[in-house]
């Protein structure tokens, strides 16, 4: 028997949601490893421990993944017949604990129980910790916070706000992904600027411009970028295109500056 087999369907705390992640993201190091997860007491808001085996945690992840895949809609949940039987036994056990009350599918398909009170499924036989814990997550009023494994680190995470679209990255990976995306965008923009600068220099040479090449080419780039902006969504920062920037690119070897003819001095024959 587990040290704690009671669940509270209706009441939860931030600590409990954090424990969802600790259980779901647990990776056992050895086959007979165990993990102690928190479950609420039957009589009130206190906590007790339940020992998860690798099999318990793996089954719980399978339940949660299937639930998240259908948008947390209990009515659309699809699991193997044996899993359905185990979960149903726990639902029936919790319902039988009180004289009245029925399970229902509430708003957005969330599993709900019409009687707002503490429920006990400890007499379900055989007792299945994964099924018991899964019901608690699915019926929690803030179950919408739980998100599928991050596309980068593979860990489950909690979101802070309700949104129509599902988040693909946890907070840490999202920041790193954003940094990488901005770096890639800057590299792309820089390559585009250099390409336009080379075209501008060729045009400057052909037209025999009297204006300084860097000043003229910088304006040339800005004008062409502004034309492109009318037909594309990604905005480029034109403020960085200055004569100093072009001179810096030329000094670093990224851009070949045009040969400038020296002015003849007065008095020369």
Please give the pLDDT value at position 59.
94
The pLDDT tens digits for 8-53 are: 333 444 556 668 888 899 988 888 888 887 665 433 444 567 788 9
The pLDDT tens digits for 48-65 are: 677 889 999 999 999 999
Confidence of residue 121 (pLDDT cuts 50, 70, 90): confident
Can you give the residue ranges of every domain in the chain? 14-169, 174-252
Which of the residue ranges 38-47, 132-141, 166-175, 235-244 would you say has the lowest mean pLDDT?
A: 38-47
Tokens of 198: 């080379």
Q: How far apart are CA 156 and CA 166, in angstroms?
A: 13
The closest alpha carbon to 4, from 64, 46, 32, 59, belongs to 46
The closest alpha carbon to 245, from 257, 261, 260, belongs to 257
Tokens of 81: 């017949």
The pLDDT tens digits for 105-118 are: 777 787 876 655 55
Q: How far apart are CA 84 and CA 90, in angstroms?
A: 10
Indicate if the alpha-carbon torsion angle 143, 148, 154, 157 is positive or negative: negative
Which ranges of the chain would DSSP assign to H, the alpha helix? Answer: 14-24, 54-69, 81-96, 129-139, 171-207, 213-229, 243-252
């Amino acid at each position: 028997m587990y040290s704690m087999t009671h669940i509270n369907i209706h009441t939860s705390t931030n600590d409990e949601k954090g424990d969802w992640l600790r259980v779901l993201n647990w990776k056992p190091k050895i086959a007979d490893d165990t993990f102690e997860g928190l479950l609420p007491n039957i009589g009130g808001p206190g906590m007790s421990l339940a020992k998860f085996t690798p099999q318990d945690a793996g089954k719980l992840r399978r339940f949660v993944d299937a639930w998240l895949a259908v948008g947390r809609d209990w009515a659309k949940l699809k699991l193997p017949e044996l899993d359905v039987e185990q979960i149903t036994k726990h639902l029936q056990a919790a319902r039988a604990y009180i004289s009245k009350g029925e399970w229902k599918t509430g708003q957005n398909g969330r599993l709900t129980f019409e009687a707002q009170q503490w429920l006990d499924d400890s007499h379900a036989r055989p007792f299945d910790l994964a099924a018991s814990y899964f019901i608690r997550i699915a019926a929690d009023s803030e179950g919408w916070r739980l998100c599928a494994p991050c596309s980068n680190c593979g860990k489950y995470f909690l979101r802070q706000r309700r949104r129509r679209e599902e988040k693909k990255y946890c907070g840490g990976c999202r920041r790193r992904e954003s940094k990488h995306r901005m770096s890639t965008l800057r590299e792309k923009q820089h390559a585009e600027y250099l390409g336009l600068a080379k075209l501008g220099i060729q045009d400057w040479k052909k037209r025999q411009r009297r204006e300084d090449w860097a000043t003229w080419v910088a304006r040339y780039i800005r004008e062409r970028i502004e034309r492109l902006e009318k037909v594309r969504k990604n905005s480029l920062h034109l403020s960085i295109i200055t004569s100093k920037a072009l001179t810096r690119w030329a000094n670093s070897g990224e851009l070949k500056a045009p040969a400038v003819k020296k002015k003849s001095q007065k008095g020369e024959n």
